Amino acid sequence: QGQLVQSGAEVKKPGASVKVSCKASGYTFTRNGISWVRQAPGQGLEWMGWISTYNGNTNYAQKLQGRVTMTTDTFTTTAYMELRSLRSDDTAVYYCAGGANWSPFDYWGQGTLVTVSS
Amino acid sequence: EIVMTQSPATLSVSPGERATLSCRASQSVSSNLAWYQQKPGQAPRLLIYGASTRATGIPARFSGSGSGTEFTLTISSLQSEDFAVYYCQQYNNWPRGTFGQGTKLEIK
């Protein structure tokens, strides 16, 4: 069973960027892709995008196109999510999640709180 | 984009009773539907995939049904630890996996 450990909480000013990391272990990193999901305070889950850990292909939610970049480092088995031009409504807990292709997410990171405030 | 709609938003049920949660897709997702449970301060946990298959370690009181656009999660006899928020997710459009807005299951 895969395990994902994320980086710690961040506080950013509007207009800044944030980069969240997600360290994978317990499975072959390049076999399953990594998705990112966020959850604003008191709200539901929002799928942000996916990256193939095999070849780096990405698929982003349309509303985040142009502001989000997902990358991976196969040597350190770590995935990254960078979000730019932060706004107050980007304040959320950001999760990385994984599972087999064409399957739901059967393992999740613990979440990273990103607070955007002036 | 496939839109997932859950109902009701909040469900009040007494311990020991049955809870039935609904999820509707804006277009057919076949059986590519998952259910997750989320407790405060925790990441979601996969309960059901393939619309009706329990994930590893999930108790038999959780069951899923449906296909196409209409899905149901049933918890047969509610335990105290089952009170949480439940989300459905379609993955028919993988890797794009849209979620419903959630149903909060609270103690009556």
pLDDT tens for each residue of A57-93: 999 999 999 999 999 999 999 999 999 999 999 999 9
Does A46 contact chain B (CB < 8 Å)?
Answer: yes
Q: Where are the strands (E) in B1-108, listed by range?
A: 4-7, 10-13, 19-25, 33-38, 45-49, 53-54, 62-67, 70-75, 85-90, 103-107
Residue contact B55–A106, C-beta within 8 A: yes
- The residue in chain B having the minimum alpha-carbon distance to the alpha carbon of residue A112 is B43
pLDDT at B5: 98
For residue A62, which of A46, A40, A43 has the smallest C-alpha distance?
A46
* Residue located via tokens 């399957």: A103
Three-state SS for B76? coil
Q: A87 to chain B nearest CA, in Å?
A: 22
For residue A104, give the amino acid letter: P
Q: How many CB atoms lie within 10 A of CB A15?
A: 11
Please tell me the predicted confidence (pLDDT) of residue A58.
97
CA distance B17 to chain A (A): 26
pLDDT of A1: 77
> Cβ of A50 under 8 Å from any chain B Cβ?
yes
B95 touches chain A (CB under 8 A): yes
Decide if A5 contacts A34 (C-beta within 8 A).
no
Element (H, E) at B87: strand B85-90
Residue A13, both tokens: 């000013």
pLDDT at B33 over 90: yes
Q: How confident is the model at residue B77 (pLDDT cuts 50, 70, 90)?
A: very high
All residues of chain A having their beta carbon less than 8 Å from the beta carbon of residue B10 are: none
Contact residues, B window 2-31, toward A, CB-based 8 Å cutoff: none
Q: How far is A1 from chain B (nearest CA, A)?
A: 10
**pLDDT tens digits for B55-75?**
999 999 999 999 999 999 999
Q: Which tokens in the block code for residue B35? A: 């259910």
**Total number of residues shown for chain B:** 108
Pairwise pLDDT comparison (A83 vs A32), residue with the higher score: A83
The shortest CB-CB distance from B44 to any of A46, A61, A108 is to: A108
How does the average pLDDT of chain A come out, rounded? 96
- Predicted pLDDT at A82: 98
Using alpha carbons, list the distances in angstroms from residue A83 to A12, A111, B53, B60, B97: 11, 15, 35, 40, 19
Gap between the Cα atoms of A20 and B101, Å rounded? 24
Residues 6+ apart with CB under 8 A from A65: none
Q: What is the DSSP letter of B97?
A: -
Residues of chain A positioned with their CB less than 8 A from the CB of B3? none
Which of B5, B96, B104 best tests the A interface by mutation, with the highest count of A CBs <10 A?
A: B96
**How far does CA B52 lie from the centroid of its chain?**
10
Residues of chain B with pLDDT > 70, as a percent, come to: 100
A44·B100 Cβ contact <8 A:
yes
Helices (H), A1-118: none
- Cα of first residue to Cα of last residue in chain B, in angstroms, is 36
Task: Give chain B's mean pLDDT.
Answer: 97
